[in-house]
Amino acid sequence: MQLSKGAEAYIYLEGDRIVKVRESKKYRINEIDSKLIKSRTKKESTALSKCNQHNIPSPKLIEFNSNKIVMSYIEGKTLSHYKNDIYYKQAGKILAELHKINLCHGDFTPNNLIVNSEVVYVIDFGLCEFSTYLEKKSTDLRVMKDSLKNEELFKIFLESYMSNYNEGPVVFERYLKNESRGRYKERV
């Protein structure tokens, strides 16, 4: 059963597994395209595997090849359906755990977090990057702030992020610095 077709990938549900497939785009030169697909698939698989290793709630990586990732299906609704403090606290902890291993998600929004049996899971590492840069980490905070559009929940999220990550306050400092320079506004 096809669940979704994003800008980049098709998502199929097969039993209790999710299959994420990247297809060639006709307008891209074929050879470049397959290299791009391969590197993105590899990056996303590596990210999932790291999360699994570090017990960060996320789909289990089952297998992958050059354009396809098979992972476990996380049943439930996305975090965007909820306003519970407890879930945003968990989301903050998840981002802290990701940043501790220098994994920047790239699209850390309530739509890429799924709630299953009171536990929040992170999905969709399609835009992730392994980076120690404060800039990339602070962008994860900014993307959550902008998509959440709820000051109170963002505060809960942020407090949890900072209390679970030693370098959290430094990342937040960068976030504030960029905000005061209006750096984020240009992007929206």
What is the set of active-site residues? 107
- 169 makes contact with ligand ADP (CB under 6 A): no
Selected binder of ligand ADP within 51, 126, 139, 165 (CB under 6 A): 126
| Interaction residues for ligand ADP, span 21-60 (CB under 6 A) | 59
Q: Are 139 and 159 in contact (CB under 8 A)?
A: no
- Torsion, Cα 176 115 96 125, to 10 degrees, reads -90
Instruction: State which of positions 59-88 bind ligand ADP (CB under 6 A).
Output: 59, 71, 73-74
Report the C-alpha gap between 41 and 64 in whole angstroms: 8
CB of 141 to ligand ADP, least distance (A): 20
Which x/- pattern, by CB under 5 A, does the window 95-134 give for Mg ion? -----------------x-----------x----------
Q: Which is nearer to Mg ion, 78 or 131 (CB)?
A: 78
Between 111 and 164, CB nearer to ligand ADP = 111
* Lookup: tokens for 78: 């996305």
For residues 153 and 85, the answer to whether their CB atoms sit within 8 Å is yes
Chain contacts with Mg ion (rule: CB under 5 A)? 112, 124
Chain contacts with ligand ADP (rule: CB under 6 A)? 3-4, 6, 8-9, 11, 18, 20, 59, 71, 73-74, 111-112, 114, 123-124, 126
